[in-house]
C-alpha cells in the first residue's frame, strides 16, 4: 500500500473568504467594493417582489413582510442573479444576504434570503 500526499495551494479573498487557484484572481476579488449593511437584526422589512402562497391549491400573491433574523456575508454577488433580477445593481461587489422570516397568508412561517435592493425598511429596531 502506498500513501499519496498532495499539496494544494489556494489563495483566499480577505473579504468574502472565497478560495481561488491564482493570486491574481484572489486580489481581483479582494479589490471589489464592499456594500454597507443596510439593515440590522430584528429590523422589520418588506420585500419588493411578489411571492406566491399555493396552500390549498388557491394561489395567492403577496409581498413578504417580516423581520431580519440573520445576516450572511459579505459574499460575492452572483453575476447572473444581479443582471436578471436586480438590473445590474451591486454587480462586482461584496454584498450581504439578509434572511427574512415572514408569515405566509396561509399562516405558515417562512424564511427567504434577500439582497438589500429587494427590501424596504419598515421599522428599525
| Residue 70: count of CB within 10 angstroms of its CB | 12
Burial of 101 (0-12, 13-18, 19+ CB in 10 A): middle
Q: Give the pLDDT confidence score for residue 107 in this predicted structure.
A: 83
Q: pLDDT, tens digit, for every residue of 4-19?
A: 888 999 999 999 999 9
Q: pLDDT, tens digit, for every residue of 46-78?
A: 998 888 887 766 778 889 999 999 999 899 888
Q: For strands 65-76 and 60-62, give the pairing.
A: unpaired
Q: Give the pLDDT confidence score for residue 105 in this predicted structure.
A: 83
Report the percent of the chain where pLDDT is more than 70.
Answer: 98
Is this prediction's pTM over 0.85?
Answer: no
82-86, 110-114, 118-122: the lowest-pLDDT one:
82-86
| Residue 18: count of CB within 10 angstroms of its CB | 16
Amino acid at each position: 500500500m502506498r500513501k499519496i500526499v498532495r499539496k494544494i495551494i489556494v489563495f483566499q479573498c480577505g473579504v468574502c473568504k472565497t478560495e481561488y487557484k491564482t493570486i491574481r484572481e484572489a486580489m481581483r476579488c479582494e479589490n471589489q467594493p464592499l456594500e454597507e449593511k443596510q439593515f440590522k437584526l430584528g429590523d422589520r422589512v418588506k420585500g419588493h417582489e411578489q411571492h406566491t402562497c399555493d396552500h390549498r391549491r388557491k394561489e395567492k400573491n403577496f409581498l413578504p413582510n417580516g423581520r431580519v433574523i440573520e445576516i450572511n456575508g459579505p459574499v460575492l454577488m452572483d453575476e447572473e442573479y444581479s443582471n436578471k433580477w436586480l438590473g445590474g445593481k451591486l454587480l462586482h461587489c461584496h454584498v450581504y444576504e439578509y434572511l427574512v422570516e415572514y408569515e405566509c397568508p396561509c399562516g405558515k412561517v417562512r424564511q427567504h434570503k434577500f439582497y438589500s435592493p429587494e427590501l424596504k425598511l419598515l421599522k428599525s429596531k
